[in-house]
């Protein structure tokens, strides 16, 4: 599988440094399980980080440092990208859902579009989206960053065409209306660190109820 749209340097560095919100971490981890190019990029930043640490002066650690580190490793184990994907949902997402797509608890948004909000900490949110073939989501902009990873099917918008494994990185400069391709239903995972900015009235009115 060839993945066309991959991570930028900012996201790769943030993931390698462990400073991304959990929702963004989850999307990136799922993408890494599908993209050799992005995985190599993250590995390079992890190697740089290791070299920097070797050059740093040593400091005295607290008595609880080891246990705290082990606790953080255990907490992040659910979003490791090292397991090869099987099924529609990559392994990092399956650990949040409890299985593959058949285990997702979808909630309707209208027009056949469905979502399932995943339990993540922090201000950023992660959600699975189901968009029927040929259907679009409302035209919208962004008040922050939105990461969208295609897991099944594909969609097109004002930027390009995105298929399985592709990640779209949107910010305040982008207004778009993703449309699922006609050949298959589209399933994506999206993470946002701020509410979307809908351009029509009805989606704006429903926004508080759908937590988008």
Class of domain 9-95: mainly alpha
Helical ranges in 56-119 per DSSP H: 65-76, 91-97
What length is written for the chain? 212
* Out of 10-14, 34-38, 203-207, least confident range: 203-207
> Using one digit for the tens of pLDDT, what is the confidence trace for 83-106?
454 689 999 999 999 999 999 999
pLDDT at 24 over 70: yes
pLDDT at 56: 62
Structure-model confidence comparison of residues 66 and 109, the more confident one: 109
Helix (H, G, I), strand (E, B) or coil at 45: helix
* Out of 34-38, 172-176, 194-198, least confident range: 194-198
Structure-model confidence comparison of residues 38 and 76, the more confident one: 38
Ranges of CATH 2.60.120.10 domains, the chain? 97-210
pLDDT at 133 over 70: yes
Contact yes or no for 49/14 (Cβ under 8 A): no
pLDDT at 83: 47
- What are the structure tokens assigned to 183, written together? 């050949």
Listing DSSP states for 111-174 in one string gives: TTEEEEEE---SS-EEEEEEE-TT-BPPPEEESS-EEEEEEESEEE-SS-EEETT-EEEE-TT-
Ranges of CATH 1.10.10.1320 domains, the chain? 9-95
Look up tokens 């400091």; give the residue: 59
pLDDT at 48: 74
> Using one digit for the tens of pLDDT, what is the confidence trace for 30-50?
999 999 999 999 999 998 755
For residues 196 and 170, give the distance between their C-alpha atoms in angstroms, rounded to a whole number. Answer: 11
pLDDT at 80: 47
For residues 141 and 121, give the distance between their C-alpha atoms in angstroms, rounded to a whole number. Answer: 24
* Out of 68-82, 104-118, 134-148, 157-171, least confident range: 68-82
The CATH code that applies to domain 97-210 is: 2.60.120.10
Look up tokens 């943030």; give the residue: 14
Structure-model confidence comparison of residues 81 and 2, the more confident one: 2
Q: Minimal CA–CA distance to 177: which of 154, 156, 208, 152? A: 156
For residues 13 and 3, give the distance between their C-alpha atoms in angstroms, rounded to a whole number. Answer: 20
């Amino acid at each position: 599988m060839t993945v066309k749209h991959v991570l930028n340097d900012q996201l790769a560095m943030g993931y390698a440094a462990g400073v991304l919100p959990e929702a963004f971490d989850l999307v990136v981890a799922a993408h890494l399980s599908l993209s050799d190019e992005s995985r190599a990029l993250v590995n390079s930043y992890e190697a740089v980080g290791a070299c920097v640490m070797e050059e740093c002066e040593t400091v005295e650690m607290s008595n609880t440092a080891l246990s705290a580190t082990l606790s953080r490793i255990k907490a992040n184990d659910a979003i490791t990208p090292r397991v090869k994907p099987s099924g529609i949902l990559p392994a990092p997402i399956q650990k949040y859902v409890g299985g593959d797509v058949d285990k997702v608890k979808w909630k309707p948004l209208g027009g056949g579009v469905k979502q399932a909000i995943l339990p993540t900490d922090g201000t950023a949110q992660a959600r699975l989206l189901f968009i029927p073939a040929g259907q679009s989501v409302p035209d919208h902009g962004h008040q922050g960053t939105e990461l969208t990873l295609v897991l099944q099917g594909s969609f097109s918008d004002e930027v390009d065409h995105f298929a399985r494994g592709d990640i779209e990185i949107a910010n305040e400069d982008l207004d778009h209306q993703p449309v699922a391709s006609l050949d298959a239903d589209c399933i994506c995972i999206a993470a946002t660190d701020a509410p979307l900015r809908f351009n029509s009235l009805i989606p704006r009115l429903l926004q508080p109820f759908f937590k988008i």
